[in-house]
Structure 1
Amino acid sequence: MNPARRCSALLSQLCVSSRGGATTRRPFSPGPVSAAAGTRYCHSGVGVGGGGGVKGTSSQLKPTGASTASAAQVCPMGGSSSSRLFGTLAQSLNSAPLAQPDPYPEDNPDQDLAEIDPDQLLRECEEALQRRPARPHRDLVYPSGVVPCRHKHNPSIRIMQWNILAQALGEGKDGFIRCPLDALNWEERKYLILEEILTYSPDILCLQEVDHYFDTFQPIMASLGYHGTFLAKPWSPCLDVEQNNGPDGCALFYRRSRFSLQSTAHLRLSAMMLPTNQVAIVQTLNCQVTGQKLCVAVTHLKARSGWERLRSAQGADLLQSLRSITSANVSSRQNEAVSGTIPLVVCGDFNAEPSEDVYRRFSSSTLGLNSAYKLLSCDGQTEPAYTTWKIRPSGESCSTLDYIWYTHDALSVECLLDIPTEEQIGPDRLPSYHYPSDHLSLLCDISFREEPHRLM
Structure 2
Amino acid sequence: MNPARRCSVLFSQLCVSSRGGQVATRPFSPAAVSAPAGARYCHPGVGGGAGPQLRPSRAAAAERLTHSVRRPTVCVCQRVLVDGPVSVQNISFIEIEEVLFKCSLYFLEQCRSAGPVLILNSVVAALGEGKDGFIRCPLDALNWHERKYLILEEILTYRPDILCLQEVDHYYDTFQPIMAGLGYHGSFLAKPWSPCLDVERNNGPDGCALFYRRSRFSLRATAHLRLSAVMLPTNQVAIVQTLTCRATGRPLCVGVTHLKARSGWERLRGAQGADLLRSLRSITARGAVPLVVCGDFNAEPSEDVYQRFSSSPLRLNSAYKLLSRDGQTEPAYTTWKIRPSGESRGTLDYIWYSADALSVHSLLDIPTEDQIGPDRLPSYHYPSDHLSLLCDVGFRED
Paired residue secondary structure (1:42): helix
Residue 283, structure 1, aligned to residue 248, structure 2 = no
CA deviations on 1:229-257 (whole Å, 9 max, x unpaired) are 00000000111111111000000000000
Corresponding residue for residue 388 of structure 1 = 335
Corresponding residue for residue 293 of structure 1 = 251
* Gapped regions of structure 1 (runs ≥ 5): 1-14, 36-40, 45-83, 90-115, 125-149, 329-339, 452-456
Corresponding residue for residue 371 of structure 2 = 424
Residue 352, structure 1, aligned to residue 352, structure 2 = no
AA of the residue aligned to 2:268: L
CA deviations on 1:310-346 (whole Å, 9 max, x unpaired) are 0000000000000000007xxxxxxxxxxx6100000
CA drift of 1:277 comes to 0.1
Query: Distance between the aligned counterparts of 1:344 and 1:400, measured in 2?
Result: 22
Paired residue secondary structure (2:300): coil
Corresponding residue for residue 249 of structure 1 = 207
CA drift of 1:211 comes to 0.4
- Are the equivalent residues in 2 in contact too, given 1:122–1:195 (CA < 8 A)? no
- Are the equivalent residues in 2 in contact too, given 1:222–1:228 (CA < 8 A)? yes
Query: Distance between the aligned counterparts of 2:237 and 2:43, measured in 1?
Result: 35
Cα pair distance change 1:313/1:207, threshold 3 Å: same
Matches within 5 A, 1:175-190: 175-190=133-148
Cα pair distance change 1:32/1:385, threshold 3 Å: closer
Corresponding residue for residue 57 of structure 2 = none
Matches within 5 A, 1:149-298: 156-298=114-256
The two structures, once aligned, show a CA RMSD in angstroms of: 2.8
Cα pair distance change 1:359/1:33, threshold 3 Å: closer
Paired residue secondary structure (1:385): coil
Query: Distance between the aligned counterparts of 1:301 and 1:34, measured in 2?
Result: 30
Query: Distance between the aligned counterparts of 1:248 and 1:241, measured in 2?
Result: 12
AA of the residue aligned to 1:174: D
Query: Distance between the aligned counterparts of 1:34 and 1:358, measured in 2?
Result: 29
- Are the equivalent residues in 2 in contact too, given 1:261–1:286 (CA < 8 A)? yes
Query: Distance between the aligned counterparts of 2:320 and 2:43, measured in 1?
Result: 18
- Are the equivalent residues in 2 in contact too, given 1:412–1:449 (CA < 8 A)? yes
Query: Distance between the aligned counterparts of 1:406 and 1:34, measured in 2?
Result: 17
AA of the residue aligned to 2:244: N
Could you tell me which of 27, 48, 52 is aligned with 1:42?
52
CA drift of 1:185 comes to 1.3
CA deviations on 1:71-129 (whole Å, 9 max, x unpaired) are xxxxxxxxxxxxx969xx9xxxxxxxxxxxxxxxxxxxxxxxxxx996624699xxxxx
Query: Distance between the aligned counterparts of 1:158 and 1:185, measured in 2?
Result: 29
Cα pair distance change 1:256/1:118, threshold 3 Å: farther
Cα pair distance change 1:16/1:376, threshold 3 Å: closer
Query: Distance between the aligned counterparts of 2:53 and 2:377, measured in 1?
Result: 30
AA of the residue aligned to 2:218: S
Cα pair distance change 1:421/1:157, threshold 3 Å: same
Q: Tell me: higher relative CO, structure 1 or 2? Use CA pairs within 8 A at least 6 residues apart.
A: 1
CA drift of 1:25 comes to 1.8
Report the identity percentage.
Answer: 74
**Please, which moves more after superposition, 384-393 or 340-349?**
340-349
CA drift of 1:386 comes to 0.2
Corresponding residue for residue 120 of structure 1 = 102
- Are the equivalent residues in 2 in contact too, given 1:376–1:384 (CA < 8 A)? yes
Corresponding residue for residue 400 of structure 1 = 347
CA deviations on 1:375-400 (whole Å, 9 max, x unpaired) are 00010100000000000000101000
CA drift of 1:188 comes to 1.2
Corresponding residue for residue 290 of structure 2 = 343
Cα pair distance change 1:17/1:34, threshold 3 Å: closer
Residue 25, structure 1, aligned to residue 12, structure 2 = yes
- Are the equivalent residues in 2 in contact too, given 1:430–1:438 (CA < 8 A)? yes
Query: Distance between the aligned counterparts of 1:251 and 1:205, measured in 2?
Result: 8
* Gapped regions of structure 2 (runs ≥ 5): 14-34, 46-50, 55-92
CA drift of 1:16 comes to 8.2
Could you tell me which of 303, 318, 324 is aligned with 1:371?
318
